Amino acid sequence: MEEKLVKEIEQEGVSRRQVLAGTGALAAGAILSHVGGLISPAVAKDGTTEQWPWPYEKLDPEKTAQLAYEEWYRVFCGAAVISSIFSQLREKVGGPYNSFPIDSFIYLEGGQAGWGTICGAPAGANMVFNLIIGPRKPLTDNTTAHEMCIDIMEWYSKANMPIYMPKNPKVTAELPHTVSNSPLCHLSVGRWMKAANKPLASPERKDRCARVAASTAYRAVELLNDWKDGKYKATGEFNCGKIHGITGQQNCNDCHGANIPEAPKAPPEAPKAPEAPKKA
Ligand code: HEC
């Protein structure tokens, strides 16, 4: 297998010595991922083997959503979103996706190990955006994964969930729809459970969350496809840090009622100490 690969790479114009020694790192890495099926052994100057962003090919949102729905019953929300996208990219792109440990993201379940923090569906989508769009700098086309993360968190918070209706749903009864007004699992699932009057362990609640993961995977692929086509425009505007001086969400009243506290303001810049008199 390795021998065959070295041959293929040699045909692409990188010497055997370069490949085996991991020199000519970038070229070898690019070709290895092009050939597919192998983790790049290329070692960068700083000693790491990190290479990102990873290539993206447009996917069908409908197919992705259906995959996420089915995967929810195996690995739950966050890993289901990641799996629905990366399993297809394994086929279309191969390379680094083949060694990505999708199932390790099972911890996103229940807002991270059941703690009801961020819903795994947007958390999984955010990871995918970052891996595909890449480091914040240098910016190639003014798009950063950061903006797409904001977009999907805002979209999720306002969506009348669940949106996506799977083929052959496990629960056939009509499910209620609710707006979470928050990306938090606790609020999202809690508001739905109240409206549906169904407990956490009910088949209805499970199917609702599977459909929420599917809806989010659908939206994530729409955004990525737009980005791939050069059509993506960031729409999210909320910047809690800038507006309120604290990280947070737009639903301050949910938790604080009418008395929203104010964050301490940054102190005015201290006056500079006078320069020590120079010796003559
Ligand atoms: C999910 C619930 C929740 C949401 C939503 C939320 N907060 Fe908080 N926030 C809290 C809790 C709980 C504390 C801790 C309060 C304490 O210990 O007294 C807190 C603390 C704070 C603090 C720290 C200072 C203080 O007086 O407690 C500020 C400032 C604050 N929130 C502002 C906001 C703003 C502005 C928003 C909306 C943009 C917001 N919060 C949204 C739950 C929330």
Residue 190 CA to residue 192 CA, distance in Å, equals 5
Residue 7 tokens, joined: 């041959």
Q: What are phi and psi of 8, to 5 degrees?
A: -60, -40
Quick check: 183 and 149 in contact, CB under 8 A? no
**Low-confidence winner among 11-20, 111-120, 190-199 (lowest mean pLDDT):** 11-20
Express each pLDDT in 1-18 by its tens digit: 344 444 444 444 343 433
Express each pLDDT in 37-72 by its tens digit: 444 456 777 788 888 899 999 999 999 999 999 999
With a CB cutoff of 8 Å and minimum separation 6, the contacts of 24 are 14, 15, 18
Q: Which ligand 1 atom sits nearest the alpha carbon of residue 246?
A: 29
Is a pLDDT exceeding 90 seen at residue 271?
no
Which residues form ligand 1's pocket by a CB distance below 6 Å? 240, 244, 246, 248-249, 251-252, 254-256, 260-263
Quick check: 189 and 92 in contact, CB under 8 A? no
Q: Which has the closest alpha carbon to 78: 115, 24, 45?
A: 115
Task: Report the separation in Å between the CA atom of 255 and the middle of ligand 1, taken as the mean of its atom positions.
Answer: 7
What confidence category does residue 280 fall into, taking pLDDT thresholds of 50, 70 and 90? low
Please tell me the predicted confidence (pLDDT) of residue 33: 42
39 or 104: which leads in pLDDT: 104
| 230: alpha, beta or left? (left if phi > 0; alpha if psi -120 to 50) | left
Residue nearest to atom 36 of ligand 1 (CA): 252
Q: How many CB atoms lie within 10 A of CB 89?
A: 22
Residue nearest to atom 6 of ligand 1 (CA): 252
Quick check: 116 and 200 in contact, CB under 8 A? no
Residue nearest to atom 32 of ligand 1 (CA): 261
Q: What are phi and psi of 185, to 5 degrees?
A: -55, -45
Please identify which residue in the block is written with the tokens 């090919």: 57
Residue nearest to atom 39 of ligand 1 (CA): 252
